Amino acid sequence: MSWFESFILGLVQGLTEFLPISSSAHLRLTAAFAGWHDPGAAFTAITQIGTETAVLIYFRKDIARIVSAWFRSLTDKAMRGDHDAQMGWLVIVGSVPIGVLGVTLKDQIEGPFRDLRLIATTLIVMGVVLGFADRLAARDEAGGRHRVVKERKTLKDLSVRDGLIYGLCQAMALIPGVSRSGATISGGLLMGYTREAAARYSFLLAIPAVLASGLFELKDAGEGGHVSWGPTIFATVIAFGVGYAVIAWFMKFITTKSFMPFVIYRILLGILLYILVGTDVLSPHAGESGG
């Protein structure tokens, strides 16, 4: 991998990680369109450490409060009813599905799941799901002639059941094209949460899974020597800087705007990908020989 490739891929990772359009799909597609080797699941997981560091810094006050309350609740029974302490447990519970499936499906994630036809399908299908969930949220917020405005849930209403459903949604993002934020935000909106609450929990829930995945790949990469360390670290730093700016913008955007621009983009990109593969402009396995 060249330094130019790592710069572009780090930029793509930072731009797409927090938007509901799938960073793993965009890294795969960028390489395919440019005629580069597929950067692979290991590169994706390691560069996600950069974007997840941006989450840690952006939500540092929330995270410090949750971690502190959670540790205190281990010895202080009075703290177990505290919302922040409960959030700590709910993040742990919600992380179980992706942890189990990530290890179980490791070979599929690094192989068959990276087929461009599957990515095109997941881009379109999850785009439709996100669009439906967004319209449902908009209808509740706006009300209408024969409907009253329906109050949506906040993170204070989060239960173990909802936390597990969020976790299952997050696990779907093991397939490139689904999008971690897209799946969890869609799940949250369908369960009746506000856009802001769904996005905030999505980002908090991703922290253990992404960091664990990145560290796991770091260990394997170190033993196998199949990662270009200089360019990969460079891409991770780029992803961190760009990712921080994107997350700050996105959290402001969703308070007043709809997810429909992302829905339209996903569907159009999926259709374009189908056309390119169907007309043999792109092979469904373009670039895979590079790992």
Cβ–Cβ under 8 Å, residues 170 and 206: yes
Q: How far is CA 176 from CA 22, 23, 35, 254, in A?
A: 7, 8, 19, 23
The predicted-structure confidence for 150-169, as pLDDT tens digits, reads as follows 889 999 999 999 999 999 99
Residue 149, pLDDT > 60, answer: yes
DSSP state of 149: P
Find how far residue 26's CA is from the centre of its chain.
12
CB atoms near residue 275 (< 10 Å): 12
Of 276, 39, 2, 36, which is closest to residue 176 (Cα–Cα)? Answer: 39
Find how far residue 162's CA is from the centre of its chain.
18
pLDDT band at 291 (very low <50, low <70, confident <90, very high): very low
The predicted-structure confidence for 73-125, as pLDDT tens digits, reads as follows 999 988 888 999 999 999 999 999 988 888 787 777 767 777 899 999 999 99
Rounded CA gap, 213 and 170, in Å? 13
Residue 36, pLDDT > 80, answer: yes
85 or 291, which is more confident: 85
pTM given for the model: 0.86
Cβ–Cβ under 8 Å, residues 65 and 204: no
Query: Token pair for residue 130?
Result: 């996100």
Q: Which of 48-62, 157-171, 212-226 has the lowest mean pLDDT?
A: 212-226
Taking CA 89 as the corner, what is the angle to CA 88 and CA 94, rounded to the nearest 5 degrees?
A: 100
Average pLDDT over residues 133-153: 81
The predicted structure's pLDDT at residue 204: 92
Query: Token pair for residue 259?
Result: 């997810």
Q: How far is CA 277 from CA 27, 130, 177, in A?
A: 17, 25, 16
For the chain, give percent helix, strand, coil, nearest 5.
Answer: 80, 0, 20
Of 11, 9, 16, 2, which is closest to residue 31 (Cα–Cα)? Answer: 9
